[in-house]
Amino acid sequence: MRGAVLPLYVYEPEIVHASDYATQHLGFTNECLIELDATLSARGCPLLLQHDEITVVLDRLLAAYGTFELLSHEETGNAISYSRDLRVGAWCQRHQIRWHETPTNGVVRRLASRDDWAKIWMTRMRQPRSVAPDRLLPPSSALPSCGLLTALQLGLTLPDKPHRQRGGRSEAVQQLQHFFGAPLQRYRFAMSSPLSAEEACSRLSPYLAFGVLSVREVMHKIWKTRTQIHAMPEPVRPINLLGGLKSFESRLHWHCHFIQKFESEPALETRNMHRGFDGVRAEEINADYFARWRDGETGFPLVDACMKMLQQTGWINFRMRALLISFSSYQCWNHWREPALHLAREFLDYEPGIHYPQVQMQSGVTGINTLRIYNPVKQAQDQDPDGIFVKRWLPQLAALPTAHIFEPWLMPPTLQEHFGVRIGVHIGVHIGENIGVNYPMPMLDHLAAARHARETLWALRGEQGIRKEAQQVFNKHGSRRRQTKKTLPDKNAAQVPPQLSLLLD
């Protein structure tokens, strides 16, 4: 026991009103805080909630309690939280306050060489989990708490997502236990299709992003489960469970691998990882293309269905996230920055350290990853062959036969009229007689747009100066798990596994 403890959570105005924050993030946070407060109160020390700039709150604590020690986890957040941490460090130095930051999730501050990272990660993961104390000693006097703050109180005007996951430790543990049953056995084979991914994926990503679960905790669960399976006679072992464990474990490695990139280079939030791609896309985006992509009105059913699902749930599986970014970056040829901010608000599991390196990788501006330009029609045919997912999220297309569901613009007018679908006007805009629910024509020629993107980027990557800087990027950020020598494996790009999760599928 170190003495009296004051658990503290601060609603920081600059965080809440940042361009990557949304009402769903507040709602999930509040649900976590409710349960955290109940757990702390049962140990004798309720959670103090404050609303202000962080150093103002620290001044308040210093005036009320005198000198103290500040304890927190290390955080790899956005530029705002990075600046905030610098202010906290300066405040602590000015007031001679000791600030203890505990490493978390295998991300290493001031990493000297990427060659050392995998070993450090494993050492941290193998450490035993800390045991929570049975009792906490509260301070002798209490500051008034601001209580849970609502979106209205904080000035957030957009609504919460109606079908997002709920926050809280009990929800996280329940989901963890559920995933290690039947879903884990299907994980490898069912994660790619939006039809099956919703049930087959772990759905642990928001709990990891918000710190409700730790990667170390989940890794211990994996190792314990694997030991139990190996102890079973082979004829009675659950089918595909070991393969699912291996696949899921690799994604926990990649989870931290991408955050480490961001920790080592925080500027990736706003600029290209490879500076040779600066200017390849205009900073000023095509506003019409962006708006139709954002609103799910591109005229490509799978792209639009994914956006509609995000609007309601705050989640979509990895391959569909990659499809959304690919379509925005390659077919729309828009710079990744504004779309990345939109998706940050849309993803409940938004983790800056994974989000920005992944968005850049899927946009083709890292210089070390193979270009993956998704064909929105072929992806629909491969991942949703009967159109079940599309029809769920685009009910205006529910009556269409499978033969026309992914390219409805090819339907003759007589068939459009027969099925009550009018192709060629924007959703919600009726011209002349209303003969049914409208769905837009494709906003662009996706094959021609993809060809332009591919030719432009491959030509750029072939330049000697670009290749030289790509080697430097690889030395700093490239994975060492499969590529031990610090050189690019071929003349074009360092290969990475095709199934990387934007956070954790």
- pLDDT tens for residues 26-67? 999 999 999 999 999 999 999 999 999 999 999 999 999 999
pLDDT value, residue 437: 59
Please indicate whether residue 184 or residue 431 has the higher confidence score (pLDDT).
Answer: 184
**What mean pLDDT value characterizes the chain?**
91
pLDDT value, residue 92: 98
**Taking a C-beta distance cutoff of 8 angstroms, is the pair 489, 495 a contact?**
yes
Q: What is the largest CA-CA distance in the chain?
A: 79
**Taking a C-beta distance cutoff of 8 angstroms, is the pair 49, 34 a contact?**
no
pLDDT value, residue 502: 31
Please indicate whether residue 296 or residue 419 has the higher confidence score (pLDDT).
Answer: 296
Please indicate whether residue 485 or residue 413 has the higher confidence score (pLDDT).
Answer: 413
Residue 233 CA: distances (Å) to CA of 243, 277, 282, 502 = 17, 55, 60, 36
Identify the helix (H) or strand (E) that includes residue 486.
none
How is residue 71 written in tokens?
Answer: 């304890």
**Residue 318: alpha-carbon gap to chain centroid:** 9
Q: Per-residue confidence at 424, pLDDT binned at 50, 70, 90?
A: confident
pLDDT average, residue stretch 170-176: 98
What's the CA dihedral at 412, 413, 417, 418 to 10 degrees? -30
- Residues 274-289 have pLDDT tens digits of 999 999 999 999 999 9
Count of C-beta atoms within a 10 Å radius of residue 269: 23
433, pLDDT greater than 50: no
- Euclidean distance between CA atoms 101 and 350, whole angstroms: 22
- Euclidean distance between CA atoms 308 and 331, whole angstroms: 19
- The region of weakest confidence among 103-117, 352-366, 391-405 is 103-117
Q: Which domains does the chain have, with CATH numbers?
A: 1-102 (3.40.50.620), 169-263 (1.25.40.80)
Q: Per-residue confidence at 490, pLDDT binned at 50, 70, 90?
A: very low
pLDDT value, residue 272: 95
pLDDT value, residue 505: 30
- Packing angle of the helix pair 79-94, 54-65 (nearest 10 deg): 30
Rounded to two decimals, what is the model's pTM? 0.91
pLDDT value, residue 427: 45
481, pLDDT greater than 50: yes
160, pLDDT greater than 50: yes
pLDDT average, residue stretch 302-331: 98
139, pLDDT greater than 80: yes
pLDDT value, residue 425: 60
341, pLDDT greater than 60: yes
| CA atoms 398, 401, 403, 409: torsion sign | negative
Q: Per-residue confidence at 105, pLDDT binned at 50, 70, 90?
A: confident
pLDDT value, residue 499: 31
Per-residue 3-state assignment (H helix, E strand, C coil) for 206-257: HHHHCCCCCHHHHHHHHHHHHHHHHCCCHHHCCCCHHHHHHHHHHHHHHHHH
How is residue 428 written in tokens?
Answer: 């919600």
485, pLDDT greater than 80: no
Paired residues of 70 in beta bridges: 99
- The region of weakest confidence among 12-21, 347-356, 495-504 is 495-504
